[in-house]
Amino acid sequence: MTLYGRDLLCTQDWTVEELEKTLRLANEFKDTRYDHPLNNCLDRRTFFMFFYNPSVRTRQSFECAATELGGHAQFLEPKTMRLKSAKTAGETVADASNVMSRYASGIGIRILETAIEEYGQGHELLEEYAHHASVPIISMAHDKYHPCQGLADVMGMRAHMSDDLKGKKLVQVWAKGALVRSWCSVQESILINSRLSMDVTLAYPQGYDLDPDVYKMCEENAEQSGGNFEIVHDLEEAYKDADVVYSRNWMTAGFYEDAQKHGIDAAKQKEIELASKHEGWIANDEMMSLTNDALFTHCGPVDRGAEVTDKICDGPRSIVYDVAENRLHVQKAIMALTMGTHNI
């Protein structure tokens, strides 16, 4: 079971066994961070990072990961490159991916809702690069999925509970906020955790539906894994007996249409105004008291006082920083497995 040369656009792309292999290696890297025998598996190899959107920790964690594996991660902003787009002339994806495959050992792409016009365009771009490139294409978060974050979430929960999370209840709950969040981390979370046998409850106010195709995949995942997937709109029902609470804001589907008609800033302001109407949707003492002494997690950056109170985010049951650290170890594992010099 080799993952060498494989793309990773979504955790659904890999088998459960392949995901488990990645998580085992990530834990090894965490336990022996500077002494693992694979720490030079990217010796003199370069990983290109395309940032259509900025990040808080993605660039940091990928650059650290490449360095700790003996390689180099090169930061690239597509707006400074002569790449063809709907509005500009330049090098096509086919040409760019073929040329870059001659230089680098892998390519990461980060492209979110503010860099596209319609939902799905980011995923289509990654698929196009994957089709033409002869090196692995890794999603560093795009409009649909965020596989590195999903794996880091699982790694964090398991470290504080058990490697077997079957029957544990994860509440993936919408929260008010002013940062206008993408769907990718949330959709990745419900996908990977329904696949790994957790009981996943997705909770949100009316009007905040996610991709219906993702719902269908979650239902199929739960049926195959022996877990459960449900959608609720009642906050107390969602929190009741939860083992993990993942409270995060996300935008409505109308964001894309509003951005095209009125501009991104106006669309963001409308989302903030809509979110402000749901005051009760925050992880606080009252809500957490309904849980089974649940862990609290978040992919960051945290919108404190909106998505979660400081008391919960900084409390003894919070694993926010552990999960953030896990991005480094998970990404080292992905890079070592897909582009390392050793056949693992």
Give yes or no for residue 79 having a pLDDT over 90.
Answer: no
Q: How many domains does the chain have?
A: 2
- Give the residue-averaged pLDDT of 256-264: 94
Per-residue confidence at 344, pLDDT binned at 50, 70, 90?
Answer: low
- Give the residue-averaged pLDDT of 47-66: 96
- How distant is the alpha carbon of residue 121 from its chain centre? 17
Query: Where residue 103 sits, what CATH number does that domain have?
Result: 3.40.50.1370
Both 95 and 226 in one domain: the answer is no
Both 218 and 262 in one domain: the answer is yes
> Could you tell me which of 14, 36, 17 has the C-alpha nearest to residue 332?
36
pLDDT value at residue 80: 87
Domain for residue 194, yes or no? Answer: yes
Per-residue confidence at 84, pLDDT binned at 50, 70, 90?
Answer: low
- Give the residue-averaged pLDDT of 183-188: 98
Phi, psi for 189 (deg, rounded to 5): -60, -50
Residues pairing with 137 in the sheet: 107
Both 45 and 130 in one domain: the answer is yes
Farthest CA pair distance, the chain? 56
Domain for residue 265, yes or no? Answer: yes
Both 199 and 67 in one domain: the answer is no
How far apart are alpha carbons 251 and 329 in whole angstroms? 29
Domain for residue 1, yes or no? Answer: no
pLDDT value at residue 83: 81
Domain for residue 263, yes or no? Answer: yes
Sequence-distant (6+) residues with CB within 8 A of 186 are 172, 210, 248, 250
Both 16 and 52 in one domain: the answer is yes
Both 165 and 293 in one domain: the answer is yes
How far apart are alpha carbons 231 and 234 in whole angstroms? 9
pLDDT value at residue 342: 74
pLDDT value at residue 154: 98
pLDDT value at residue 263: 95
pLDDT value at residue 195: 98
pLDDT value at residue 23: 98
Q: How far is CA 256 from CA 121, 142, 214, in A?
A: 11, 14, 18
- Give the residue-averaged pLDDT of 270-282: 95
Both 104 and 73 in one domain: the answer is yes
Which tens digits make up the pLDDT trace of 202-249? 999 999 999 999 999 999 999 999 999 999 999 999 999 999 999 999
Domain for residue 344, yes or no? Answer: no
Q: In which domain, by residue range, is 25 found?
A: 11-145+325-339
Domain for residue 267, yes or no? Answer: yes
Per-residue confidence at 53, pLDDT binned at 50, 70, 90?
Answer: very high
Q: In the chain, pLDDT over 90 holds for what percent of residues?
A: 92
pLDDT value at residue 248: 97
- Relative to beta strand 137-142, strand 106-111 is parallel
Both 287 and 329 in one domain: the answer is no
- Give the residue-averaged pLDDT of 162-175: 96
Both 237 and 161 in one domain: the answer is yes
Domain for residue 261, yes or no? Answer: yes
Domain for residue 2, yes or no? Answer: no
pLDDT value at residue 343: 61
Give yes or no for residue 90 having a pLDDT over 90.
Answer: no
pTM over 0.75, yes/no: yes
Both 163 and 131 in one domain: the answer is no
pLDDT value at residue 215: 98
Both 141 and 155 in one domain: the answer is no
Both 84 and 232 in one domain: the answer is no
Average pLDDT for the chain: 96
